[in-house]
Amino acid sequence: MPAPEMDDKTRTELEAAAFRKLVAHLRERTDVQNIDMMNLAGFCRNCLSRWYREGAAEQGITIADPDAREIVYGMPYKEWQAQYQKEASAGQKAAFAKANPGH
């Protein structure tokens, strides 16, 4: 079944709601490491914050990278790293290198 017809404003509101839910979910799931997200899905919290910053730039709004990360992480990135980030295993690093050549 095709998606229902809707105007641009409604579509934007629904997309914004989905984004907010994704961010809230990622803030709650501090056990999920960025490297695992990259290895499984090809994006992570840092990617999401970069996309947010790039979207702002397209609207003529400048958001510094640390500020965009804080929007996604819900706290300063360095604080999140200290509290939740674990050292990546050799297997995680190898999978990342294979899935993300040149990254």
Residue extents of the structural domains in the chain: 33-85
pTM, 2 dp: 0.86
Per-residue model confidence as pLDDT tens digits over 63-99: 999 999 999 999 999 999 999 999 999 999 999 888 8
Question: Residue 94's closest CA among 38, 26, 19, 15?
Answer: 38
Q: What's the rounded Cα separation, in Å, for the pair 88 and 92?
A: 6
What confidence score (pLDDT) does residue 78 get?
97
Fold classification of 33-85 (topology level): SMc04008-like fold (1.10.3340)
* pLDDT confidence tier of residue 100, bands split at 50, 70 and 90: confident
- In this structure, the number of other CB atoms found within 10 A of the CB of residue 49 comes to 22
- Output the six-digit token pair for 7: 């105007």
Per-residue model confidence as pLDDT tens digits over 36-60: 999 999 999 999 999 999 999 999 9
- Cα angle, residue 49 at apex, residues 94 and 11 outer, rounded to 5°: 120
pLDDT above 70 coverage of the chain, percent = 98
For the cut 80, the answer to whether the pLDDT of residue 103 exceeds it is: no
- Output the six-digit token pair for 44: 């992570």
